[in-house]
Structure 1
Amino acid sequence: MLVVLSPLLSLTLHLLPTLSSPGSHSLSPVRRLDPPVFTQPIEDCCVDEGGDITLRGVLIGSQPIRVSWLHNGEVAHFGKPSFNGSEVSFSVRECLPEDAGAYTCLAENSVGKTSCCAAVFVRGETDTAHWETSYVDCSTQNVQFIHDFAFIPLSQLKVKTGEPARLTCFFTSSPPVVSCWIRDKEQLWTENTDQSSTLCIAEAKPQHTGRYTIAVKDRKSSAQHTLILSVIEKPQPPASCPVVSLVSASSVVLSWSGPCYDGGSAIQGYVVEVRSPGPTEPGDWRELTDQCKSTSYRVCSGLRPQEEYCFRVKAYNAVGVSEPGPESPVVRMEQKGEKRWTESPEMYTHITIDATHKVTDHYNLLEKLGVGKFGQVFKLTHKETGRVCAGKFYKGRRAKEREAARKEIELMNYLHHPKLVQCLAAYDNKPEMVMVMEFIAGGELFERIVDDNFEHTEPASVRYMQQILEGIAYMHQQNIIHLDLKPENIVCVDHTGTSIKVIDFGLASRLDPNTPLKVMHGTPEFVAPEVISYEPVCLATDMWSIGVICYILLSGESPFQGNSDDETLALVTAAQWEFDEDSFEEITEQAKDFISSLLNKNTRRRMTCEEALAHPWMAAFDSGDPSTTKSLSKEKMKRFLARQKWKKAGKALLALKRMAMLSKGDNPVSPTSPGEEHALQSLELKMQGPPQFSQSLEDQTVAQGSRACLSCHLTGYPDPEVVWLCGEEPVVESSGVQIEYDEDGRCTLVLASVGLRDTNTYTCRATNDHGEASCSAKLIVKQ
């Protein structure tokens, strides 16, 4: 009887003698041999630059199992691999940006092999991912399913302007396989092989920023993956010239607005320069500092009494330094002992809108300070007193805009409190409406806190919260709700003290107990759940926003920050938040209770201003020694501010487009999108071709009674029909004749036990719609 042994059974029988018990003539049960399989795959991870990572997975299978690691398709010569027979791990300490990429664990034993891959992202101080050459490893986790594609999520890649960008996607599949990259429905035919596809941009430019989709197809399936390529460049110059305040004999305080577009990479700092006006040569600008981390700077040296100076500022990011922003007006330093106009004790007056004069009749119009949805803000000086003010110039061409301006001006008459910015005058000279306000030179509170020369502690945070609550409590006593409380609307009175004021009452409203007020405006991270649900707002709506501000003040993180505005709003609506263990490790339980009493979805259970001011946290540090209080970290606060810069109104169109693009970056292009559907159709056509033999049959000489195997490799799409011929007669399968056609194109004819009559010429003939091909070899059987 003829017995045909499979390779596995042959191997098992070969091992039987070693499996018998000593001294016994009977055979022990055959041990089953299993290929390696990952029961717990390694997982994607993200780490800050300088942090450590460990990739872990669990393997089963017959020992011994050999394990190796690849990084972006190449052997990983760094890191620390480990394998204890079941758990595999790979550790990298103090990760650098170049350590990011695709990590693949290969496992192999005598029966089979498998692989498992994961993506590692390394965040710099400002970047979520920054790879000059980036890879997406699309290898499948199990070689038994080589017709499937598995993509690792990779949302955003960055490259500096002017440098080459190279995006490579690896995949494992059965040839033929075709691929292409798509952008804006346009197909980008690039460097493609049967295992990878590479998109090359020789010199990256800002216009190359966008969404790129890789589409891959083989005989049986297709797959797509979308990523964002961001080309970063130098930032634009600061939007405004430096505003000079607190002039003395030898020092000034400068403040300015940041760039409208940061070049795609967060601003890292500013360079402040000075020169004396007059007929000067280029290069006369002198650098005062290149380490300013906020939008204000106190010049304490290098200036002389009664001299005149101009100032300008440059911004810089990871790519480089911007062009200089606008120059400041000429500033004349004081004489020693001279005093200019100073703020008198708070004196409040009722403001009526002046319709007979222009603002320029009473004030000198100086440089622009900022731009918003309402209009523009300019620096003013009173012609008689010299007092520095700020003029809010409304867009007033439409009746709705004029009514909104009048409403804000009229509300200001009810907000006479030292912790609320004051209105000093108002003008209506059609179509222009202007509100003259206090000029507050200290800048935003959070910008002050991250200044390297400023100490940030929990007691200091208590003092800030007390001031905010005092101002809002006065508003609430007037039955007025702010409705736009957020960090940028809390500003410092000056550059040295800790006094603050609440500003921007453009969305404020007086509540009418007989008419419920519903609004649909606000900033997603700070807006209360009832606003999103379009339910009536109340005084407690402001208290929710105060709770969010306090959370960020102490931790530097936003409790409801999602990957998009929609996700953020969903988290707010569900009131889903928690105290991050690392961020609140040094924060007292009283502070946590204070926040928890404000971030309550039930408006009736939120503290009022009076209750918040009476909370134990408010008095917890009154008797303490500030010198013994631990400073809080500012790093997370800096990252929060960098994110917020993209969300402020009035930014450049480039920024808005980039934000809109990134908010969609996590969602792959729909398989039914026109661009991708057309690409897949093109790939289908590209795959079409006649049969071709990439490996032909070879002549063989075998002994009578032995096994013969004729093998060749075939390509062609659609899959060819294969016929084997012995001489001119077709070969028919039987118990001793096997014909195999694998998915990868391997064609095999196996004769289990050959005889002399099997000597002949054997031909493999393949046919599809595009043509026919064949190859032949001689089989000689000897006695």
Structure 2
Amino acid sequence: MDKDGGKPKTFVSTFCLALQPQTRSVRVEKQKENEPDATKRTCMRNNTLGVSSATATKEILRRNNHELHTEVTVKASPKNTQISSTSKERCQHSEEKDNVSTADSDIDLLTPVSSCKGPPVEFVDPPEQVEVRVGKQARLHCEFRSSSVPVACCWIYNKTKVVVGGPRMSVRSSETQSDVEISQARPEDTGSYTVVVRNVKGSAQHTVSLGVIDQPAPPASQPVISQLSTESVVLSWTGPSYDGGTAVLGYKVEVRQEEQDGPESWTEAASRCKNTTFHVRSGLEPLGRYRFRVRAYNSAGVSDPSKESECVEMVTKKEEKQEASESFITVTIDTKHEAKDHYDVHEKLGAGKFGQVFRMSHKDTGQEAAGKFYRARSAKERTAARREIELMNKLHHPKLVQCLAAYETSSEMVMVMEYIAGGELFERIVGEDFEHTEPTSARYMQQILEGMQYVHKQNIVHLDLKPENIVCVDTTGTRVKIIDFGLASELEEGKPLLVMHGTPEFVAPEVIGFEPVGLESDVWSIGVICFILLSGESPFQGNNDAETLALVTTAQFEFDEESFEDISDEAKDFISSLLKKDRRCRLSCAEALAHPWMASFSVMERRPTKSLKKGKMKRFLAKRKWKKTGKAVLALQRMANLSYRPDSPGSSSEESGWSQEAEEAIQSLDEQLHSEPRFQQALKDASLPKGATLRLTCLVSGSYPQPEVKWLQDEKPVSASGRVTTEQREDGLCSLVVADLQPSDSGVYACRASNALGEGMCSAKLKVEL
């Protein structure tokens, strides 16, 4: 027993020194280090040329009483450099006695004598995302460390389809890496590719997102002209229906002067427009006649041009457009006409679960509008459309989008809304020529609160407040309006409202918990919008919807020191007062308008203010664009199925949701591991004196199931006895130890390993010298 009362530590360390044959003496010393688990052995050797030594230090690192790693270091003295390397002798040492010899020193020095408790498979710096241009070769490469061999791998596309080789695709795997190569990549190759790696001890998986990018599609609509003057005009358009697989970075605006004679000649009016609106201030002449078109661009290239705008003639004198007082209309659904009887329908502006939105213009007045065409095939869908129209008749306020008309026929239902050309507020803020400060942010929040205060006075809850639904009235001013009341509901006393819809980043905790919602649920969303407006970061954004919902449920957030370094404490307190988990503790809209931060923004405006950084806001918008599809509003039934749990070690993908085909492929990996025994390290011949101890070691790896090992001497089984012991470890290291060697022990020793798939054998010759 050792001094700590544990099991005795026994091991054999072998050092090979190249010495001259005239050996005088060998002395082995053991030196204790300061560390209790470190030992040092020194082998000293002298001959006619002098004295030399080699020292080996063995360090045993322990965790939970398990040996994790053994390191053996051999150091030779400078005098050794004069000794011939053609003559080698072995110097042996054991804690029990000094005459133990080892026939295979390489195994002891190179193979760890303790088992590793790490993960069965560990990925080495795997890629998270790969982008490739259309038509180019895509390569998904994952390297990994496996605690044992054999190793089996498979790739699964979007958790449903097993990736196999084909005309354009190849899959190659080894014991340390796996690759998928796709030649002539296509947009349909975009998706998530998960590699599953398995050995006999377990498995791990990692997901790589492949984006096959191309230039974007042209902007979906022709430029719409507004705010016409003598030498300037404002253009608005709709972004492309397909971004090319990567975020649209901006737009190029082109103009052509209308000429009766001569070829068309397009020139660039703006080369790096970041928004879907642009104010053309130069290059236009009074009474000139012009057409405009727009191109979108991303990191892959520039799109084809949009459709041309209608020809516009500049006015003769600049007219100051005075803002007219708001006039509100109470809409009655017209069941005798179709929307097309009164309006011309132009390009599509957007689509959603409800139906589609198109830009429209009144045939008599030319007034622009947005027509919401409902998908109203069933009685339930028609009832929901009528309910929204009735609700909009109760929301007459300058900060809210207004309903102008409504139509219902046997084939369709249409609600005509005012057309707001200023674009989304957040898109406007990141513009190069737009000032973004804390006071301007307070003014936007004031307008949002004023609008929602009016909505709440009507006992209506919006339930889908988010940046996309806060839009600017025009491209030059700072007035905003709240849009999209498609999910709004009217609260009824004594009748709790439970909803199953919302946007994960902005939805309140009570919605996720399927608890009754109230006016305070909108206040939570306003708090999230304010947080992003000031910092460019989302307080509860996770890596996926499930993680985001988990963060919202805890209602815990932090004011990042870097993101909020220029933000006042009053603003932070304002946000904290809105983002309370208990909805009864949140401020109402009226209370928020009276908050010290909101009340002091006019005072702040008179003192110097610092412009807020826009970099994080731009990244936030880029992520939103990437995620913007028809699933912008997620059903909570889907949310309920997403339970957040950390990834398993060595895995960065979800562990559920595999298709049957994928499950079968993963299960088949176990069958692929089956293989016959292989010797990674073989036995070596030895010549030892009588009375010494022989230790033969070999390494059997890459075999599954676990092989049965037998030792033979001259083709006869070796039986265990007082002198002979054998050992077979889980890591494949096999050893035969024969003590007190006798001449009869000479012969050929073989190690035979066999399982159901076959067998392997290695052998070595032993000579016992008298």
Fold-level similarity (TM above 0.5): yes
- Aligned pair 1:448/2:428, yes or no? yes
- Measured in 1, the distance between the counterparts of 2:445 and 2:479 equals 11
In structure 1, the partner of 2:726 is 739
More displaced 10-residue stretch of structure 1: 438-447 or 285-294: 285-294
In structure 2, the partner of 1:779 is 766
Pick the structure with greater CA Rg: 2
Contact 2:15 2:74 in 1 (8 A): no
Unaligned 5+ segments in structure 1 are: 21-28, 41-58, 67-109, 115-141, 654-658
In structure 1, the partner of 2:131 is 159
In structure 1, the partner of 2:99 is none
Mapping 1:135-150, distance limit 5 Å: 144-145=116-117, 148-150=120-122
- Measured in 2, the distance between the counterparts of 1:367 and 1:771 equals 71
In structure 2, the partner of 1:730 is 717
In structure 1, the partner of 2:393 is 413
Mapping 1:61-460, distance limit 5 Å: 144-145=116-117, 148-151=120-123, 156-161=128-133, 162-183=136-157, 184=160, 186=162, 188=164, 190-218=171-199, 220-234=200-214, 235-276=216-257, 284-324=265-305, 326-337=306-317, 339=319, 344-460=324-440
More displaced 10-residue stretch of structure 1: 272-281 or 383-392: 272-281
Q: 1:430 to 1:582 in 2, by over 3 A?
A: same
In structure 2, the partner of 1:610 is 590
- Measured in 2, the distance between the counterparts of 1:286 and 1:415 equals 45
Mapping 1:574-723, distance limit 5 Å: 574-625=554-605, 628-648=608-628, 650=630, 666-669=652-655, 675=661, 678-679=664-665, 682-691=668-677, 697-714=683-700, 716-723=703-710
Residue 611 of structure 1 deviates from its aligned partner by 1.9
- Measured in 2, the distance between the counterparts of 1:166 and 1:713 equals 33
Report percent identity of matched pairs.
Answer: 50
Unaligned 5+ segments in structure 2 are: 1-8, 17-25, 42-56, 76-107, 166-170, 634-638
Residue 445 of structure 1 deviates from its aligned partner by 0.8
Deviations 1:281-313, CA, capped at 9 Å, x for gaps: 999443333322222222222333333333333
Q: 1:5 to 1:494 in 2, by over 3 A?
A: closer
Deviations 1:334-371, CA, capped at 9 Å, x for gaps: 13306598753223343333333443444443333333
- Measured in 2, the distance between the counterparts of 1:674 and 1:150 equals 26
Residue 706 of structure 1 deviates from its aligned partner by 4.3
Mapping 1:517-532, distance limit 5 Å: 517-532=497-512
SS at match of 2:501: coil
- Measured in 1, the distance between the counterparts of 2:551 and 2:693 equals 68
Deviations 1:446-497, CA, capped at 9 Å, x for gaps: 1111111111101001111111222222233333333332222211111111
Residue 769 of structure 1 deviates from its aligned partner by 3.0
Deviations 1:63-103, CA, capped at 9 Å, x for gaps: 9999xxxxxxxxxxxxxxxxxxxxxxxxxxxxxxxxxxxxx
Higher relative contact order (Cα pairs below 8 Å, separated by 6+ residues):
2
- Measured in 1, the distance between the counterparts of 2:155 and 2:319 equals 67
More displaced 10-residue stretch of structure 1: 457-466 or 595-604: 595-604
Residue type of the partner of 2:224? V
Contact 1:174 1:743 in 2 (8 A): no
Residue 165 of structure 1 deviates from its aligned partner by 0.7
Contact 1:270 1:316 in 2 (8 A): yes
- Measured in 2, the distance between the counterparts of 1:422 and 1:274 equals 33
- Measured in 2, the distance between the counterparts of 1:211 and 1:649 equals 17
In structure 2, the partner of 1:131 is none
Q: 1:671 to 1:433 in 2, by over 3 A?
A: closer
Residue type of the partner of 1:768? N
Deviations 1:616-649, CA, capped at 9 Å, x for gaps: 2122132345572011111222222223235546
Q: 1:317 to 1:283 in 2, by over 3 A?
A: farther
More displaced 10-residue stretch of structure 1: 174-183 or 163-172: 174-183
Contact 2:126 2:142 in 1 (8 A): no
SS at match of 2:559: coil
Mapping 1:440-519, distance limit 5 Å: 440-513=420-493, 515-519=495-499
Contact 1:308 1:333 in 2 (8 A): yes
Residue type of the partner of 1:165? R
1:16 aligned to 2, 26, 29, which one?
A: 29
Deviations 1:187-209, CA, capped at 9 Å, x for gaps: 64843333333333344433333
In structure 2, the partner of 1:759 is 746
- Measured in 2, the distance between the counterparts of 1:394 and 1:729 equals 88
Contact 2:709 2:751 in 1 (8 A): yes
Q: 1:309 to 1:748 in 2, by over 3 A?
A: same
For normalisation by structure 2, the TM-score amounts to 0.76
Residue 420 of structure 1 deviates from its aligned partner by 1.9
- Measured in 1, the distance between the counterparts of 2:118 and 2:605 equals 67
More displaced 10-residue stretch of structure 1: 484-493 or 615-624: 615-624
More displaced 10-residue stretch of structure 1: 336-345 or 504-513: 336-345
- Measured in 2, the distance between the counterparts of 1:707 and 1:65 equals 23
SS at match of 1:645: helix
Contact 2:254 2:267 in 1 (8 A): yes
In structure 2, the partner of 1:139 is none
Contact 1:173 1:194 in 2 (8 A): no
Q: 1:692 to 1:359 in 2, by over 3 A?
A: closer
Q: 1:644 to 1:663 in 2, by over 3 A?
A: farther
Deviations 1:169-215, CA, capped at 9 Å, x for gaps: 32233444444434435364843333333333344433333444434
- Measured in 2, the distance between the counterparts of 1:626 and 1:608 equals 28
SS at match of 1:165: strand
Residue 593 of structure 1 deviates from its aligned partner by 1.9
Residue type of the partner of 1:724? W
Contact 1:306 1:332 in 2 (8 A): no
- Measured in 2, the distance between the counterparts of 1:320 and 1:705 equals 80
- Measured in 1, the distance between the counterparts of 2:263 and 2:203 equals 58
SS at match of 1:353: coil
Residue type of the partner of 1:271? K
- Measured in 2, the distance between the counterparts of 1:738 and 1:346 equals 99
- Measured in 1, the distance between the counterparts of 2:578 and 2:587 equals 6
Residue type of the partner of 1:614? A
Q: 1:755 to 1:446 in 2, by over 3 A?
A: same
More displaced 10-residue stretch of structure 1: 605-614 or 748-757: 748-757
Residue type of the partner of 1:7? V
Q: 1:718 to 1:450 in 2, by over 3 A?
A: same
Residue type of the partner of 2:274? K
In structure 1, the partner of 2:23 is none
Contact 1:520 1:534 in 2 (8 A): yes
Q: 1:744 to 1:160 in 2, by over 3 A?
A: same
Residue type of the partner of 2:182? I
More displaced 10-residue stretch of structure 1: 147-156 or 161-170: 147-156
- Measured in 2, the distance between the counterparts of 1:61 and 1:437 equals 75
Contact 1:165 1:203 in 2 (8 A): no
More displaced 10-residue stretch of structure 1: 152-161 or 31-40: 31-40
SS at match of 2:578: coil
